[in-house]
Amino acid sequence: MKAKLLAHTPLAPLKEASGVLDAKSLLPHLGYTFAVERISRACSHQLVRHRGASFSQQSQRYITVKRLQERVVTPPSVEKAGDDEFKKLVKEASESYQRLVDRSVPKEDARFVLPNAVETSLLVTMDGRSLLHFFGLRLCNRAQWEIRALADGMLEEARKAEPKVFNAAGPYCYQLGHCPEGRFTCGRMREAVDRYRVNQG
């Protein structure tokens, strides 16, 4: 998995032009575009639920299905449990796909047999407010491991580009100073705060 910040709207010129507006007020005017590579389709389905963003995703019609086993994301829990069954199912899906294509089934229809583990790449653009919200939700310990890892990579890039805005970013417990999950809290707020705190020294 890889997340790279390709372009962003710098805060400084907007702050200068606005005169009195602070960074928080300017968040909706800040834009961030990331190239996201080698995440699973399962992860991309979670990502596109963020409505305050724009997405351009690689078409599944153009992946090399004959080498599908090289283009899947294997969850760590599956690797830990033994991934023989997982690999077998991916191989069977690849073979089924090829058989359907060989029978003149269009690729866009044959791909219905492919697993959510198949890798994809996409461009993601969010404004500053939406990106902070994304980090608040997806960096939470309760978030699914893959989208949390993606959010970590995106935060690292955003902090390098605009530390004044994103040094305060992290899971909502870090941003708010309390956990908003109520009875569903992970109980590990201090660990999360320590992880995302930026050393000002």
Can 138 be counted among the known catalytic residues?
A: yes
Read off the pTM.
0.92
pLDDT in tens, 111-123: 999 999 999 999 9
How many Å apart are CA 84 and CA 73, to the nearest integer? Answer: 14
The band of 10, judged by pLDDT with boundaries at 50, 70 and 90, is very high
Residue 199 confidence (pLDDT): 66
Beta strands in 106-169 (DSSP E): 119-127
pLDDT in tens, 150-182: 999 999 999 999 999 999 999 999 999 999 999
Q: How far is CA 84 from CA 30, 66, 74, 79, 179, in A?
A: 46, 19, 11, 9, 39
Q: pLDDT at residue 200 above 70? A: no
Catalytic residue among 138, 142, 188, 197: 138
The beta-carbon contacts of 65-68 under 8 Å, at least 24 apart in sequence, are 65/94, 65/97, 65/98, 65/101, 65/114, 66/94, 66/98, 68/93, 68/94, 68/97, 68/114, 68/118
- In this structure, are strands 119-127 and 31-40 parallel, antiparallel, or unpaired? antiparallel
CA angle 128, 132, 135 (to 5 degrees): 140
Residue 64 confidence (pLDDT): 67
- State whether residue 14 is helix, strand or coil: helix
Burial of 173 (0-12, 13-18, 19+ CB in 10 A): buried
* Average pLDDT in the chain: 92
